[in-house]
Chains A and B, each alone.
Chain A
Amino acid sequence: MYLTIKPFLVLLCMAGAFSYFFYKTKALIDLMRAAPGGVIIDRIPERTFMFLREVIWQSSVRRNKPIVGIAHTLIFWGFLVITVGTLEMMVEGIFHGLTISSLSPTVHGWYVFISDFAAIGVLGGVAFGFYRRLVIKPDYLTNGLDAKLILVFTATLMISLYGYNMFRIPLEPDAFINSYFILSTPLAAMFGLNGASSSLAFAGTEFFYWVHLSMVLGFLVYIPNSKHLHVLSAAPNIFFKRLGPEKAFEKTDFEDESLEQYGIANSTQLPWGMVLDLYACTECGRCEEQCPAAMTGKPLSPKKIIHDLKVDLLSHSKTIREKGDLGAIPGFVQNEGEISPDVIWSCTTCRACEVSCPVGIEQISPIIESRRNLVQMEAAFPAELQTVFKNLENNFTPWAFPADSRADWCQELGVKQMSEHRGAEVLYYVGCAGSFDDRAKKVATAIVKLLKMASIDFAILGKEEKCNGDPARRAGNEYLAQMLIQENVETLNKYQPKTILAACPHCFNTLRNEYPAFGAQYHVVHHSQFLRELVDSGQIPLNNKSDERITYHDSCYLGRWNGEYDAPRALLKSAGVKLDEVERRRTKGLCCGAGGARMFMEETIGKRVNIERTEELTAKKTKTVAANCPFCTTMITDGLKDANQQDDVVVKDIAEILLEATGKG
């Protein structure tokens, strides 16, 4: 009797669960398809390789967190294996006796052999998961019922699998595959099931069959509404993610007269790539752990903003999918809402979040798009930025200095200008800091001395140079940024320099990664890279090496944005310096607090980021801190002043340290 109705029962349960699952996932897919933006799939071989490495081999989960990563890898691999068996169980439930053995007993044998191991691996991973969520409880981890429930599901799923196998052995004692149950057989012996009566064996098998099946189907029903949606979305998100560290913000086409919205105001405007990002988040909190805003008490957490955006998007899912009253959908930034303007303005665009995210989410993109909307559509931004915008419009620099005086810093240095020396080998793009900021002018001077020492044929743009556009762009004023960029592009294209040397990582990044979209593709180098080459080729003789211990600070825009961590270190080492590395370095380097135009905004909430960073750097008790960015230099110097340590520790640019090592400083 039971065996007659079992197939129908199984079929009924499966149909219910699967239809619900498909209904839910279809809604998610439809929501994503309703989003703007086209799909361009380029560089397929590279993407496939990355997919294999990060998804199948799970390298991105183990990166920075090896133990958690191994636990996840065990669960992931285990599931890949066990899912085959689960499918087999479903089929067998409907067509009694149809198993892998029906195809090939040997294959079946080997399969159960592997799956016995896989299940114990999963249980190990789950055990660690429980330990982490119940005992360690890291702050950054969203530790809700959701995750724990999934762990219970998973554990039950594995235990029921062993239970099913253990009772199957006495049920079919002569089955070919029994000798392959490397773990289930001894377990069955341990529980004294070997001599079990056939009715007990049958009851046990069926019991665990149903437990297993209901767990699997429950899982299916549960996934689309939980953070475990990542099981479906993380893999495609990784496949489509950005290849390499270089990133340029989306260029707005201001020539397009049909454009009515600048930036993103509400969830209907999120492009599909961002929607997929939202689906993919696992709430693992790795981003929040690294975020300078989150760790200093700002209202921004990259994990939270992704989550809040997802909640907002899903709350309008029906309207968006059915093309209802889209105009009535409110903006996601609301003064008293989860995403307040302070959330949006707290970001330093340090990119620690994006680099640490195991599933390739780009948390900065919605933040910048949101800034674009606030600035350009609503003219709502921190008051300090108005002066900055005006200065940029009128003087082409964020500070109030006459544009005419841009080249004053080098009047006595005999630096040539491109207008009088068109064919110069190297165009030294000084940047606003190097041109106007007293501290950075000294660095620029050091660079000029080094270039002259190495007999480099270089020139600057002088008055023709304008701010590269970074602060305006990151403050969301894309229109202003593009005005600056376009004027610079015209100037650069007039001179067609072979190499552009930038001594500011922000100039370097923008010129290198953002200008190509505006028609200026040049070979751009940061001074750490350029000087390193000169030292390596012996063009800068170092006769006065020091053996000072120095603490080095990675800048976000040289490091995470461009993947350059080694050149500055190599340069310091060649100057004889002993590097004292801090804990948060390289990909985990902590921001100084200045990026994302934060340099020009007040920082009134929580602890100041520069103080947090300065404390870490000075803990090494070296007399010098080395930096490679004028803004980092300012921020850390301010941090030192704040701690009254300005007489004990100095911040120097790597170029200054190198110049000292030449003995001709």
Chain B
Amino acid sequence: MKIFVCIKQVPDTETRIKIASDGNRLDLAGAKWIMCPYDEFAVEEAIRFKEKNSDATVTVISAGPERVKEALRTALAMGCDNALQVALPENADSFMTAKALAKSIAAEGEAHIVFTGKQAIDDDAAQVTQAMAEFLDMPAVSVVLRAEYGANQIQAEREIEGGSIEKYEAPMPCVIAAQKGMNEPRYASLPNIMKAKKKVIKLVSLADIGVTADEIKISYSGFTLPPERAGCKMLEGDVPTQSKELVRLLREEAKVI
């Protein structure tokens, strides 16, 4: 049984956003790169699946430049069996990434389940899961909080607006995209970190899977930083005075009513 997990390496949540001098991309030199936190739930879910199904092997895949190896090693240390880096350029978009991931998975053999995180926390596009499933011709359930794995189908509970839960049943193979809370991702033990350091990461080039740079559909231009958040204002006095003042401010200063 082949289980795949797709992970993205993203700048740490605390990274300060800087715009490159050309204004068309972010300057991420010096950023600390981490595995996208949603993907950690996906990795954990895949490993837990493996722990329950002794015939399962977990391959972790990341598409991106050399640096993504670090995220792959983290996943290996957590317990994935193999790792695969699809050499994608920095400016790859969701479309190209989805296609590259789908093709590399297909090249590895018949997938049983493909796990991903529901979205990446850098661009928050939430596109790759669905597009990749389409390329793989698999059903996909995203924002999954709980999944039960049967022999041929998966029952998944996904979170929707307002905290309600939708229940789905999907035939395998399928794509499951994890939501925060699906599990508690483990901290890798040191012997596993050491072992992960020595594992070979398979490199897949664009040529190997027949994907070209033409697949990039989106280009970016003209980044600006959001305006600095103005300080908050505390209203004084009793409730009626505060209400009056609030209305006045909303009307005169914020000009929203």
Q: Which of A46-54, A97-105, A345-353, A394-402 contacts B (4 or more CB under 8 A)?
A: A394-402
Select which of A375, A378, A405 is within 8 A of B16 by beta carbon.
A405
A403-B32, A479-B193 are contacts. A394–B12 as well, Cβ < 8 Å?
yes
Residue contact B186 to A379, C-beta cutoff 8 Å: yes
Within 8 A of B (CB), among A256-274: 260, 262
Q: Assess whether A376 is interfacial by the CB under 8 Å rule.
A: yes
Interface centre among B12, B16, B188, B193 (most CB of A within 10 A): B12
Distance in Å from the Cβ of B16 to the closest Cβ of chain A?
5
Bound complex: CA of A389 vs CA of B189, how far in Å?
A: 13
Residue contact B190 to A376, C-beta cutoff 8 Å: yes
Distance in Å from the Cβ of B228 to the closest Cβ of chain A?
14
Q: Assess whether A386 is interfacial by the CB under 8 Å rule.
A: yes
Residue contact B14 to A377, C-beta cutoff 8 Å: no
Residue contact B191 to A260, C-beta cutoff 8 Å: yes
Give the dominant DSSP class at B's interface: loop
A252 closest partner in B (C-beta): B190
A376 closest partner in B (C-beta): B190
Q: Assess whether B34 is interfacial by the CB under 8 Å rule.
A: yes
Chain B residues, CB < 8 A from A479: 190, 193
Q: Assess whether B15 is interfacial by the CB under 8 Å rule.
A: yes
- Bitwise interface map of B from 185 to 206 toward A, beta carbon under 8 Å scored 1, else 0: 0111111010000000000000
Bound complex: CA of A403 vs CA of B30, how far in Å?
A: 10
Bound complex: CA of A386 vs CA of B12, how far in Å?
A: 15
Chain A residues, CB < 8 A from B32: 394-395, 403
B37 closest partner in A (C-beta): A390
Select which of B13, B16, B189, B191 is within 8 A of A400 by beta carbon.
B13
Chain A residues, CB < 8 A from B13: 400
Interface centre among B30, B184, B187, B191 (most CB of A within 10 A): B187
Residue contact B191 to A379, C-beta cutoff 8 Å: no
Residue contact A394 to B14, C-beta cutoff 8 Å: yes
Chain A residues, CB < 8 A from B16: 402, 404-405
Chain B residues, CB < 8 A from A403: 14, 32
B192 closest partner in A (C-beta): A379
A394-B32, A395-B32, A403-B32 are contacts. A379–B14 as well, Cβ < 8 Å?
no
Residue contact A378 to B191, C-beta cutoff 8 Å: no
Bound complex: CA of A375 vs CA of B15, how far in Å?
A: 27
Residue contact A379 to B15, C-beta cutoff 8 Å: no
Distance in Å from the Cβ of B189 to the closest Cβ of chain A?
5
Residue contact A402 to B15, C-beta cutoff 8 Å: yes
Residue contact A379 to B187, C-beta cutoff 8 Å: yes
Residue contact B14 to A395, C-beta cutoff 8 Å: yes
Chain A residues, CB < 8 A from B15: 402, 404
Chain A residues, CB < 8 A from B14: 394-395, 400-403
Bound complex: CA of A518 vs CA of B14, how far in Å?
A: 29
Chain A residues, CB < 8 A from B189: 376-379
Bound complex: CA of A383 vs CA of B13, how far in Å?
A: 20
Bound complex: CA of A381 vs CA of B186, how far in Å?
A: 11
Bound complex: CA of A383 vs CA of B183, how far in Å?
A: 13
Residue contact A377 to B190, C-beta cutoff 8 Å: yes
Chain B residues, CB < 8 A from A394: 12, 14, 32, 34
A-B interface, 3 closest residue pairs, ranked by CB to CB distance from nearest: A376-B190, A402-B14, A379-B187
Please list the residues of chain B having a beta carbon within 8 angstroms of any beta carbon in chain A: 12-16, 30, 32, 34, 184, 186-191, 193
